Amino acid sequence: DAGITQSPRHKVTETGTPVTLRCHQTENHRYMYWYRQDPGHGLRLIHYSYGVKDTDKGEVSDGYSVSRSKTEDFLLTLESATSSQTSVYFCAVRLAGGRTGELFFGEGSRLTVL
Amino acid sequence: TQLLEQSPQFLSIQEGENLTVYCNSSSVFSSLQWYRQEPGEGPVLLVTVVTGGEVKKLKRLTFQFGDARKDSSLHITAAQPGDTGLYLCAGGGGLWGAQKLVFGQGTRLTINP
């Protein structure tokens, strides 16, 4: 168990409001990721982090920002939520060792933007 | 455009039947992973293949990496209702670099008793 906690697990908000999702890990993993999951699209990478204050964009980063001020926390922020950002968001950590980059996922945060 | 294409996207079969799920790409990957996801949970890693032509078995599940490392397959023998779930393939390395995984769109498998 890589000790990942996502919060909140469920959130309903209105268009135009800011939203922050939190991913907390307890095992000092260097790499952390935010994915979104939508029907027919599998998992798509939003942003990832390769260390404190080190982040990079994924394939669907528009409308999202991230921050990692300490190893254990990776925050995903929607500055002004839109209905197209209704989705299930998964945080993941890269398991240590090797070159194959296996991921361990949190349980997800379901966001509904009305 | 999906970098990794899975087929079929939906599959519903009877208990005891065999099935194969495919994961195809035009890109070469250094590794290919398969995950299984159940409702309300995050994906869980099943296996990683790294060598072209590699075959790995996990009980009734057989995973194969294509010789050119562009495709993979998952074969389930004598499917059980407990095999029901969303199966995702994910490629590492290649165009996306070593730090990121790209996922297929998933195959939703239902095994009927």
Contact A48 B106 (CB under 8 A): no
- CATH code, domain with B47: 2.60.40.10
Contacts of B46 in chain A (CB under 8 A): none
- Whether chain A has a CB inside 8 Å of the CB on B42: the answer is yes
Contacts of B51 (CB under 8 A, 6+ apart): B65
**Per-residue pLDDT reduced to its tens digit, A32-42:** 999 999 988 88
Structural domains of chain B, count: 1
The string of pLDDT tens digits covering residues B13-69 is: 999 999 999 999 988 988 899 999 999 999 999 999 999 999 999 999 999 999 999
Complete edge-to-edge strand list for the sheet that includes strand A65-70: A4-7, A19-25, A73-78, A65-70
Q: Which domain holds residue B83?
A: 5-112
Stretches in chain A below the pLDDT threshold 70? 1-2, 96-99
Question: CATH homologous superfamily for A4-113?
Answer: Immunoglobulins (2.60.40.10)
